[in-house]
Amino acid sequence: MKTVLRKMGNSRGVLIPKPFLIQTGLDIDEVDIQVENDRIVISRPEKTVRAGWAQASQKIADSGDDVLVWPDFANEDDQELVW
């Protein structure tokens, strides 16, 4: 399929048809883009930022190993503070 490189500010862009995005699994918000052997390659990101953090946190909580590491203590001078 041939298409047009469209001006987008100082850059150029290509509109990718929705069926192509669905077929390749790239119907997402962010992609990786790089040049390989004189070709522009667009792919799904390897890993999203903080991927799996929620599940890992839940696993720690379920195991009961989520106690505070830093104990509660106040500075001696804090008693005189008025809020």
The verdict on residue 12 lying in a domain is yes
User: For position 22, what pLDDT does the model report?
Assistant: 92
Q: What is the separation of C-alpha 62 from the centre of its chain, rounded to a whole number of angstroms?
A: 25
Residue-range definition of the domain harbouring residue 46: 6-64
Provide the domain count of the chain. 1
Residues 30-49 as b or e (16 or more Cβ within 10 Å = b): eeeeeeeeeeeeeeeeeeee
pTM comes to 0.51
73: confidence class by pLDDT, cuts 50, 70, 90: low
Q: With contact defined as beta carbons under 8 Å apart, do 42 and 26 qualify?
A: yes
Non-local (6+) Cβ contacts of 45 within 8 A are: 30, 31, 32
pLDDT (tens digit per residue) in 10-57: 999 999 999 999 999 898 888 999 999 999 999 988 877 788 889 998
The verdict on residue 73 lying in a domain is no
The verdict on residue 19 lying in a domain is yes
The verdict on residue 54 lying in a domain is yes
